[in-house]
Amino acid sequence: MHDERRRIEERVQRLHDQRIKTAIYAATVPLAVEAWQAPGEPVPFAEAAAAPYAPFAMGTPWGPPWGTTWFRMRGQVPTAWAGKRVEAVIDLGFVGDWPGNQAEALVHLTDGRPLKAVNPLNQYVPIAHPAVGGEEIDYLVEAASNPDILANDFAAPTPLGDVLTAGDKPLYTFRRADIAILDEEVWHLDLDIQVLRELMLQLGEHDPRRHEIMHTLDRAMDLLDLDDISGSAASVRQALKPVLAKPAHASAHIISGVGHAHIDSAWLWPIRETKRKTSRTFSNVTSLADEYEEFVFACSQAQQYEWVRDNHPHVWARIQESVKKGQWAPVGGMWVEADGNLPGGEALARQLIHGKRFFIEHFGVETKGVWLPDSFGYTAAYPQLARLAGNEWFLTQKISWNQTNKFPHHTFWWEGIDGTRIFTHFPPVDTYNARFSGEEMARAVRNYSEKGGATRSLAPFGWGDGGGGPTREIMERARRLKDLEGSPKVEIEHPDAFFAKARAEYPDAPVWVGELYLELHRATYTSQARTKQGNRRSEHRLREAELWATTAALHAPGYAYPYAKLDRLWKTVLLHQFHDILPGSSIAWVHREAEAEYARVARELEELTAEAVAALGEGGTRVFNTSPFDRAEVIRTATGVPTYVEVPAGGSAPVAVAEPPQPVTVSGRVLDNGLVRVEVAEDGTLASVRDLRAGGREVLADKGNLLRLHTDLPNCWDAWDVDKHYRNRYTDLLDADSVTVVDEDPLLGSIRVERSFGKGSKITQTITLRAGSPRIDFETDIDWHEAEKFLKAGFPVDIRAPHSSAEIQFGHIQRPTHTNTSWEAARFEVSGHRWVHIAEPGYGVAVINDSTYGHDVSRTVRDDGGTTTTVRLSLVRAPRVPDPGADQGRHRFTYSLLPGATIDDAVAEGYALNLPLRLADAAGAPEPVVSVDGEGVTVEAVKLADDESGDIVVRLYESRGGRAAGVLRTGFPLAGAQVTDLLERPLEDAEIVDGGVPVTLRPFQILTLRLRRG
């Protein structure tokens, strides 16, 4: 047989694209359209319904950036169309086929009920099926003219990312608003051909099935009457039935399809637009559920449900009904799909607590899995946190984006830092926006790593990132692919069902231990430094407010614990941990609003904490210590006078000078407190740091606190990525404008270094050494005006460290300092929380921070044979896309060098730097709510139980990485104690011995105790 593949393939493509697809709508009549441009921000339906509308013609430009235009559309279905399937078809002037970042609209009836949304690949609104003819159409359509931020593939900065800079030029040209007949036979033919043609092109050139499909399509095209597509469609479909009816092979891979609509809670649009995106997408999904009884839609992010509940009660009611019918599956159990690295431990716990509780309260559904397809790597604390919240499985897809190494598994057991394991799956389809295309189906089978051990994978299907969700066309593809030769089988089912089947057939799946590090998007540990600082400080302020509110509730008669306010503030912070807000990868508008929200949260939490402390009564100035460790340190009083105080963990003490330690001496540029001696060089770097407790050991191998400015232009994704070549071009900031002694108090010595550099940028650093502490602080004030630059602060330490330890949620993770393998080399930029620690046997050093997350650790061998291990903190970046002004302006933060540090020291000083002692006027000295006898048992949270019972909830963890034992003692009569899950539900009774609760923890174990007052 002659090879006619090219002729046939080109013939099928042309007839499909140019004739069949264009005949899907058999007849149309235009709707009469009027328009009203809403001023400023979106308005409620009632205001839009009462607005004055003006005639609007097709082909007219509309929609300034971030604007809202309401259209009124009226018409009547022709009586001759009785019995036909009739739809309204609306094209706002869509660009491309992605519904996420462009014009979108929600269609309402005149009574305010949302019907359905329209977007590029979902332009229809059902009217009647079958139509009786003569129906009156009257719609109010809320259209958002969101700019296409991705229009230039992120090649250059754009002013469109903020309403303040976007201008007012119309972005779109309205193309179509019609009533139309959907020719169902032609529509189905279109889908038949799509599925067969895509399958054919994925099969091997010598596969008989490919040639069978090809020649069947060729013969079927002979039956297509180009003058009567509609009339001949049925016969063409009949000719294709035999190849569509052939069943899949018995060993065919099984894909569990679950509807999905990934909606970034903010990204290339502000939060206010996400509130509308959720209603648009969810109205589409509930409409689709009415058409396809087998449809199942998985949806995470409790915050988005809450927005819909509050803004569109009709859509909310439809969601509740779909959940009851089993077609809507709440999943994920988190408040938002948070970043997987940066939120603190307690914050990740609260993500799970607030998310799971929302679904239980509103749907009676307890979610079983963590659904995080798009976060940028995943902390090794997740398995334990997920299981403590009652989850059984974990899903992500993002690790398939790795730049260097291919992750070896798709289904596996993931083991966290404490040994907890959770059953985990990466969809081999390599997307969370699947459409069941032939290429996707072939890719899933080709990629699947578990061949021979397991047979099934999951595919989240539907348009996503900016929402949109599944379409009827995708559902029709799934029906055709349910059992089709040459393709994997597609089953639509709940993700819980998939995970149950996958675990049953593959119980001995391989184990991956430790973090799931994404070899991409490493700059998200640093970009938008003020957003990250706002998160870090909010987390610690929440801890502080809860502790002192609990103290006041126990000891101050009449004080009311602020349950509702704390709940609201927590949810605000949790929202801003979304994986495109906290990582710094959103448009300018998002980060501008985030900074304002963090400032508001700070004010409110300051008020709550002040109220709680004031409720303890007046009686003189006291110092309050929120840290879980006893503190003895120098603080400044209200008048600025340095004072040395001692304060118990979680308690308070009067401002009375304690036994003074050895004083600080300042001699030239040398600071000495008997513990360490610090010499500042003429250029403002550290020339020497000697640990006097270790016989005068020199800590540094070269200039310390070396500020290095790198050129930073990644290959793409500016705000997300830093590529290894950034290291090759840099400038060391060694020109100091001034180096000046500013404090010479016996309790505190400081030297200030000022530098100017680059495009008008300035850095002022105050290097401080306090009496009684080996910690050296670098209080930093940066006025930053660079572009495409990356600023690092380096500490080359004379230590041969085989690995670094970086704090993560509820523990720490060790990473090799060598680059023996490609996996280690790919970790050239990593994340950590409050501290990084390096050590050789007998001696260690920690670098501590109060707001940054990115860092790198490297080592070299010197000519003298010694090893230099260098820790560099990532301080600030200057990407220009998607926010042209990212990180510009003022930054204030502190980082510290801690010589002679153990892991215990790093943990304690990390808390100390991030939880400054508080001065306040208060009476008496109430006992700390809880205290712990025993090393390694660290208190992370103290609060009243969420059920308002008055019980006290305490969250503890083992912080050193070894076994720990101790006794939890209370500052109140203890009547009972229970071990609970994260949602504060009892697991077992805890023993009480001599008024305390004995605690034994394995390495990095998290323990939640619920304490009942006597």
Report, as residue numbers or ranges, the catalytic residues.
374
Helix (H) or strand (E) run with residue 872 in it: strand 867-877
Q: Could you identify the residue written with the tokens 């006290």?
A: 952
Pull the structure tokens for residue 251: 């060993």
3-class state of residue 286 by DSSP? helix
DSSP 19: I
- 2-8 long-range Cβ contacts below 8 angstroms, 24+ apart: 4/218, 5/205, 5/214, 8/214, 8/215, 8/217, 8/218
* Residues 434 and 440 sit within 8 Å (Cβ to Cβ): yes
Q: Which pair of structure tokens corresponds to residue 792? A: 């690092």
Residue 12 corresponds to which tokens in the numbers above? 């099928």
Interacting residues of 68 by C-beta distance below 8 A, sequence separation 6+: 37, 38, 41, 42, 43, 142, 143, 144, 145
Cα 863-866-868 angle, rounded to 5 deg: 100
The DSSP 8-state label assigned to residue 825 in this structure reads H
Residue 978, C-beta contacts closer than 8 angstroms, at least 6 positions apart: 986, 987, 988, 989, 990, 1009, 1010, 1012
Q: What is the DSSP letter of 884?
A: T
Residues pairing with 126 in the sheet: 87
Whether 412 contacts 509, CB under 8 Å: yes
Measured between alpha carbons, how far is 478 from 494 in angstroms, rounded to an integer? 15
The dihedrals phi and psi of 651, each to the nearest 5 degrees, come to -130, -165
How many residues does this entry show for the chain? 1014
**E strand residue ranges, 720-866:** 730-732, 738-745, 748-757, 761-770, 776-784, 789-797, 803-808, 811-816, 830-831, 835-840, 843-849, 854-861
Beta-carbon contacts of 813 under 8 Å, excluding residues fewer than 6 positions away, are: 380, 417, 514, 515, 805, 806
Cα–Cα distance for residue pair 23/28, rounded to 1 Å: 11
Burial of 206 (0-12, 13-18, 19+ CB in 10 A): exposed
Asked if residues 815 and 806 have their Cβ atoms less than 8 Å apart, the reply is: yes
Q: Considering all CA atoms of the chain, what is the largest pairwise distance in Å, rounded to the nearest integer?
A: 101
Residue 901 token pair: 């540090």
Reply yes or no: is the peptide bond before residue 470 cis, omega within 30 of 0.
Answer: no
Cis peptide before 130 (omega within 30 of 0): yes
* Whole-number Å distance between alpha carbons of 660 and 644: 7
The structure tokens listed for 496 are 């819980």
Using CA atoms, how far residue 827 sits from 522, 730, 816, 852, 879, in Å, is 9, 20, 9, 17, 21
What is d(CA 60, CA 56) in angstroms, rounded to the nearest whole number? Answer: 7
How far, in Å, CA of 566 to CA of 556, rounded?
19
Q: Phi/psi at 755 (nearest 5 deg)?
A: -135, 145
556 class by beta-carbon count within 10 Å (0-12 exposed, 13-18 middle, 19+ buried): buried
299 forms bridges with which residues in the sheet?
A: 330
The 3-state secondary structure of 831-851 reads ECCCEEEEEECCEEEEEEECC
Residue 817 CA to residue 171 CA, distance in Å, equals 51
Q: Report the Cα–Cα distance between both ends of the chain, in Å, rounded.
A: 91
